[in-house]
Amino acid sequence: MIRTLLQLLPADRRRLAAGHAALTVLGVALRAAGAVLLVPLVADLFGPDPGGAWPWLGALAAVTAAGWAVDTAAARIGFDLGFALLDNGQHSIADRLTRIRLTWFTAAHTATARQAVATTGPDLVGLVIYLVTPVAGAVLLPVAIGLALLPISVPLGLAALAGVPVLLVAFWTTRRIGRVADRTAEDANTALTERIVEFARTQPALRAARRAEPARGLVGAALAAQHGATVRLVLLQIPGQLLFGLASQAALVLLAGTTTALAVRGDLGVPEAIALLVVVARYLEAFAALGELTPGIETATTALRRIRAVRDAPTVSIGASARPGTATGAPRIRLERVAFRYADDGPQVLDGLDLTLEAGTTTAIVGPSGSGKSTLLALLAGLHQPTAGRVLVDGDDTAALAPDERRALVSVVFQQPYLFDGTIRDNVLAGDPGAGEDRLGHAVALARVDEVTARLPDGERTAVGEAGTALSGGERQRVSIARALLKPAPILLVDEATSALDTENEAAVVQALADRTTPRTRVVVAHRLGSIRHADRVVFLEDGRVVEDGTVEGLLAAGGRFADFWRRREAATGWRVVSAGGSDT
């Protein structure tokens, strides 16, 4: 935790952190001194001459005031560190996110990353001042009081010092058991409710199948069976949670008992003994404060854990070489024994794929779902890196290219067209911020964005809203096509949407592929005949392997898997709902 914290601090604040630590220790020492000053003060009050307490009170006031001053200074630094953590921490996470391997972003990791960048801010600000300082104080204060007691009474001082580790372990254990208990209760609840949620989710199917009542009986029985076991599990956790309370109460009785015993034996005067009882109470106060910090500790630990998860996520390997300056025009792309899997223990999506895409050609990748089409496209785009084999562009290994060089190679039309919050024009220009009006106009017209902007009062200056939500799915798609066309990259990759496209969008995809203003090597993952028809070559993929490869006409004539696919697509387009034996099968 401390390591993550220090990593998040900008380098120039590390010394400030050391200063803060020193001030914190000094503040604790002053507080301990104040506690121990009570001994002569209270002893005098209980003694024959209460007036003798005034000088001690003066000392106490001085020490307390010094403590305020030191702690105010520490707090100022603490807040400063907090704001530095906020600024540096948030930015370093945002930077980091752009270098993490895309395969890392599972649903759970994505949620963690989102929370790390969006919700940990306020926690980071208060981290030092509300957490590090108080926790350090709560742990150090009893030690300091124990040490200060040694000159007054060695046995009591030793007992107090011995109590510190015992109470800390009791505190830690209780916290741990409490956390386990919470998790057990939560897991038990999830286990018990999961089946109810499932029951609710499948209601239409269950009712249509007249199975709602039997299923309800089954779920009910399962719940009843599970119930007893989980309750026992939760109950077992309870005694452990009382440990810390018991330990601190016992410590109070034991330390007070020791003091009393010392007084009875005559080692201590009665006024001193009474004063020491007060010091004992102060000693235990620190542990109670620790208990009150528990919720804060949980929140901060969660925040830091999320941040650490992002910082520890695997990043993409980065090359440094540049493409030779002579490389112009459409490149030849070659995949050499490329293998890929999403997780180390996951199935091979591609296994030893060899494929050469000639310069300036348009290739359609076709195949059933799960055949590896989109994975292949992501490898070409450089979004994933092959687990084995190489992707070569004009003979250069893309893995060795510097990030900017690699990025400059490809332009992509994505299935889920993400737009950023800005105008339509800004989003198209993201493809090439320096593009002139003529090139912009050309891309906008080809992608039929002009039809969209013509309908909007603000035209191409219309804001697309957060993540483009002010536009319809089809309109977003067209803006993303224009963006991809504008980017002057020699490789254009198109992942055609699987969801139903309207016809204008289909035409926009076809036009984008047919555009010849920039010499490009094109690859399209295609579902529709319109986009396949314009390809020079069709590669039919199945289970990560190329099963058919040729021109559209050639493959249609061969009558294989592709011809079958083609026929079915054509039939699907003209389908009509029929009844009363009108079926054509």
Partner 1 sequence: MAKRGFSGVVIRSYGARDHEVTVVGKESLAPHFVRVRLTSATLFQDAVAVPTAWLRFWFPDPDGGESEHQRAYTISSADETTGEFTIDMVLHEPAGPASLWAKRVEPGWTIMATSLGSSKFDVPEEPPAGYLLIGDSASIPAVNSILAAVPVDVPVEVYLEQHDDADPLVPLTPHPRARIHWVPRQGPASLAAAIEARDWSDWYAWAGPESGSLKHLRTRLRDEFGFPKSELYAQAYWYYGRAFGKRRGTPEPEPAAAPEPAPAAAAPSGPAVRGAWRAQGAGRLLAPLKRTLILSGALQAVVTLVQLAPFVLLVELARRMLAGAAESTLWTLGGWALGLVGAGTLLGGALTLWLHAVDARFARDLRRRLLGKLARLPLGWFTARGSGHVKQVVRDDTLALHYLVTHAVPDAVAAVVAPVAVLAYLFAVDWRIALALFLPVLVYVMTMTVMVVQSGARTALALRWSERMNREAAGYLEGQPVIRVFGGAAGSTFRARLDEYIGFLDDWQRPFTGKKTLMDLATRPATFLLLIAFLGTWLVSSGAMDPVSLLPFLLLGTTFGARLLGIGYGLSGLRTGLLAARRIQTTLDESELQVRAGPAAAAAEAPGTVVFDRVDFGYRPGVPVIHGVSIVLRPGTLTALVGPSGSGKSTLAALLARFHDVDTGAVRVGGHDVRDLTADELYARVGFVFQQTQLVHGTVHDNIALALPDASRERVEAAARAAYLHERILRLPRGYDTVLGPDAALSGGERQRLTIARAILADPAVLVLDEATAFADPESEYAVQRALDRLTAGRTVLVIAHRLHTITGADQIVVLDGGRVAETGTHDELHAAGGRYRQLWDAGANRTTARAEATL
Please give the span between the terminal C-alpha atoms of the chain, in angstroms, as a whole number. 66
CB of 537 to partner 1, least distance (A): 20
Report how far residue 446's alpha carbon sits from residue 546's, in angstroms, rounded to the nearest whole number.
Answer: 32
Which residue, 288 or 558, has its beta carbon nearer to partner 1?
288
Which residue, 389 or 431, has its beta carbon nearer to partner 1?
431
Phi, psi of 522 (to 5 degrees): -115, 140
Segment 248 to 277, residues that bind partner 1, using CB under 8 A: 249-250, 252-253, 256-257, 260, 263-264, 270, 273-274, 277
Whether residue 367 contacts residue 373, with contact meaning beta carbons closer than 8 Å, is answered with yes
CB of 138 to partner 1, least distance (A): 11
- Give 386-441 as a 3 state SS string: CCEEEEEECCEEHHHECHHHHHHHEEEECCCCCCCCCEHHHHHHCCCCCCCHHHHH
SS3 state of residue 151: coil
Tell me if 212 contacts partner 1 by CB under 8 A: yes
Which residue, 394 or 496, has its beta carbon nearer to partner 1?
496
Report which secondary-structure segment, H or E, holds 339.
strand 333-341
Contacts of 393 (CB under 8 A, 6+ apart): 323, 331, 332, 333, 334, 409, 491
Q: Total binding residues for partner 1 by CB under 8 A?
A: 162
Report how far residue 283's alpha carbon sits from residue 272's, in angstroms, rounded to the nearest whole number.
Answer: 16
Piece of the chain touching partner 1 by CB under 8 A; list 326-334, 355-363, 415-423, 514-522: 415-423
Give residue for tokens 């309800």: 216
Tell me if 378 contacts partner 1 by CB under 8 A: yes
From candidates 478, 487, 520, 522, binder to partner 1 by CB under 8 A: 487
Tell me if 412 contacts partner 1 by CB under 8 A: yes
Which residue, 53 or 353, has its beta carbon nearer to partner 1?
53
Segment 33 to 52, residues that bind partner 1, using CB under 8 A: 34-35, 38, 41-42, 45-46, 50-51
Binding mask 416-455 for partner 1 (x = CB under 8 A): xxx-xxx---x--xxx-x----------------------
Which residue, 326 or 585, has its beta carbon nearer to partner 1?
585
Tokens of 190: 């999830």
Task: Report the candidate in 483, 544, 41, 558 with the shortest Cα–Cα distance to residue 272.
Answer: 41
From candidates 143, 158, 161, 192, binder to partner 1 by CB under 8 A: 192
Report how far residue 20's alpha carbon sits from residue 76's, in angstroms, rounded to the nearest whole number.
Answer: 9
From candidates 7, 106, 119, 356, binder to partner 1 by CB under 8 A: 119
Kindly list the distances between the CA atom of residue 572 and the CA atoms of 282, 474, 535, 552, 554, in Å, as whole numbers in the listed order.
Answer: 82, 21, 21, 19, 22
Which residue, 337 or 472, has its beta carbon nearer to partner 1?
472
Tell me if 281 contacts partner 1 by CB under 8 A: yes
Piece of the chain touching partner 1 by CB under 8 A; list 328-336, 388-396, 527-535, 550-558: 527-535
Segment 298 to 337, residues that bind partner 1, using CB under 8 A: none
Segment 229 to 248, residues that bind partner 1, using CB under 8 A: 231, 234-235, 238-239, 241-242, 245-246
Report how far residue 398's alpha carbon sits from residue 395's, in angstroms, rounded to the nearest whole number.
Answer: 9
Tell me if 349 contacts partner 1 by CB under 8 A: no
CB of 41 to partner 1, least distance (A): 6
CB atoms closer than 10 angstroms to residue 165: 10
CB of 277 to partner 1, least distance (A): 5
Tell me if 102 contacts partner 1 by CB under 8 A: yes
Binding mask 72-101 for partner 1 (x = CB under 8 A): x--xx--x---x--xx--xx--x--xx---
Beta bridge partners of residue 355, listed in sequence order: 335
